[in-house]
């Protein structure tokens, strides 16, 4: 079964969708990764949320937000719910997220903080590493950038 794709701003989410998103994010990023940190933040207030759902159940998720530099866009909190992993939903989710960014923000550069073990995964979408590996919440990360102008003009 192909998941249903939903793209909504925070203000347009139903209370049920918002709770399912926050529960999934906490389960993956705090509980599964044994990483206590403030998972929900003020960036959620004005974010776009990319949801993949099956039978009204959240199966994959990403959050689109402005990058802290103020000139780029970013996405993160990328997850596939445990029971739905190994089905290539992460690839579908990132492709959908990038298409949404292209539609909403045209050629704004996209900068992400990727967990280092996913470097090749994001590289397959055209992202290039632009930092050394560093620890964020005790997890190895790397900064990556996608030059969207090269894709638009090439």
What is the per-residue pLDDT across 12-55, written as a single tens digit (0 to 9) for each?
999 999 999 999 999 999 999 988 888 999 999 999 999 999 99
Provide the pairing of β-strand 48-54 with 110-115: unpaired
Residue 140 to residue 14: CA distance in whole angstroms: 34
Distance of alpha carbon 66 from its chain centroid, rounded?
12
Domains delineated in the chain:
4-153 (3.40.630.30)
Is pLDDT at 107 greater than 80 in this prediction? no
- pTM for the predicted model, two decimal places: 0.91
């Amino acid at each position: 079964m192909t998941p249903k794709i939903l793209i909504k701003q925070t203000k347009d989410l139903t209370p049920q969708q918002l709770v399912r998103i926050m529960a999934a994010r906490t389960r993956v990023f705090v509980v599964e990764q044994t990483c206590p940190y403030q998972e929900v933040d003020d960036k959620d207030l004005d974010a776009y949320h990319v949801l993949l759902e099956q039978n009204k159940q959240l199966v994959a998720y990403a959050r689109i937000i402005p990058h802290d530099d103020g000139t780029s866009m970013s996405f993160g909190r990328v997850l596939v719910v445990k029971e739905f992993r190994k089905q290539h939903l992460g690839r579908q989710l990132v492709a959908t997220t990038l298409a949404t960014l292209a539609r909403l923000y045209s050629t704004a550069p996209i900068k992400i903080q990727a967990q280092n073990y996913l470097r090749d995964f994001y590289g397959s979408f055209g992202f290039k590493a632009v930092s050394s590996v560093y620890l964020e919440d005790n997890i190895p990360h790397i900064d990556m950038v996608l030059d969207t102008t090269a894709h638009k003009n090439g």
